[in-house]
Amino acid sequence: MARFLSLGRFGLVALLTAVAGLAALIALPHDPYVRYQSFEGTIFERLRWIHERIHFDETPIDVLVLGSSREGAGVVGPQLEAALSARGLPLHVANFSIPASGMDIRETLLAEVLRAKKPRLLIVGVTEQLPRDGHQAFGSLATAAEVLGSPVLVNRKLPENVGRLPFRQLKLAAGTWAPEAFGFDAAFVPERYPGTSFKLSPAEVHGDNLPEAYAREWTAEEQRAALDAEAAQRRTEITRPLLPERLGDVEFGVSRTALRRIVATAEANDITVVFLFLPFYRGFEQPFDADWIKGQAPIWTTDAFMRDSANFIDAAHMNARATPGVADWLAGRIAVELGAPGR
């Protein structure tokens, strides 16, 4: 006679079958180039260029910048390269900054760089307060292992990122098998490549939310008044630590874990790592987390630009008037750190 599973055993078998199915989906292989192309049409679409710069451009990456839109606007690769060359350091700069300030995605980008390149210097941008959450694009860009290896404590994005992983992997696998059907390129298209180093466009820095200064000409008085108001609001919107420092690894666990891993990875690969803090207009001269950050690696910061509204397109982002000065200052720090000829 046929034997029937008890309800409990049937439930267990069903659960194990579902888990095995999800595990199989998560393990589906795909072409990483497809994953980096999947952001086209979003504010993160320059991730395609980042992958191409790493894997299809033979030019070395000597100085790697990983930051948010603040570093994307403030550190202009060609200007920094020119300032370094003037100091006897003909180094190649790759600014892989993307909008938003989550730190976990910077660990992902560093890992991708190290698959093909060996920087001498890693510059990681920080803001006034370390983010409490991960980057909004981390769950879509990171490898499956990186998503599953995310910190657990107070990681509010973890359930969503893990929950989306099976479908994401299936979509990327399908895009690898039939790229044209899903709007991807199966191979590198040199004609589409924007080049080794370039200045980010306003849309790449700001996305669709362009500052008013791009829409019309401001008088100096109008610009100062608008930026004064924006800076005042920005100062009040920053949420200081809610927990004592001894619980900082809980409140800022995602960011601190990522930064510790970044520093450890850099040191294991003999890469000098520093943090870069570019204050917003009329902001703060140091990050609130400065003591903790300095415990990981040095912080480079300057207040030379933060008090003049003429240096900013909006309160957080420097403009073309300021960036040559930023490049010159930063090149000086790099020359000291790496040792320019004749020093």
Q: How far apart are CA 70 and CA 316, in angstroms?
A: 6
Asked whether residue 6 is domain-assigned, the answer is: no
Q: Are strands 121-126 and 272-277 parallel, antiparallel or unpaired?
A: parallel
Distance CA(318)–CA(254), nearest Å, equals 28
pLDDT at site 13: 57
Residue 182 vs residues 52, 177, 190: alpha-carbon distances, Å:
19, 10, 20
Q: What is the pLDDT of residue 340?
A: 65
pLDDT number for residue 11: 63
Among 65, 72, 75, 68, smallest CA distance to 322 is for 75
Is 67 part of any domain? yes
What CATH number has the domain bearing residue 323?
3.40.50.1110
Classify residue 2: in a domain, yes or no: no
How many domains does the structure of the chain reveal?
1
pLDDT at 343: 45
105 part of a folded domain = yes
- State pTM to two decimals: 0.92
285 in Cβ contact with 307 (< 8 Å): no
| 20 part of a folded domain | no
> Could you tell me if residue 80 is inside a domain?
yes
Burial class (CB in 10 A: 0-12, 13-18, 19+), 181: exposed
pLDDT the model gives residue 2? 53
What DSSP letter does each residue of 204-254 carry, written as one string? HHHTT---GGGTSPPPHHHHHHHHHHHHHHHHHH----SS-GGGHHHHTHH
Structural domain boundaries, residue 102 = 27-338
In a domain, residue 15? The reply is no
Answer whether residue 10 is part of any domain. Answer: no
In contact, 304 and 328? CB cutoff 8 Å? no
Task: For the chain, list residues with pLDDT below 70.
Answer: 1-5, 7-25, 340-343
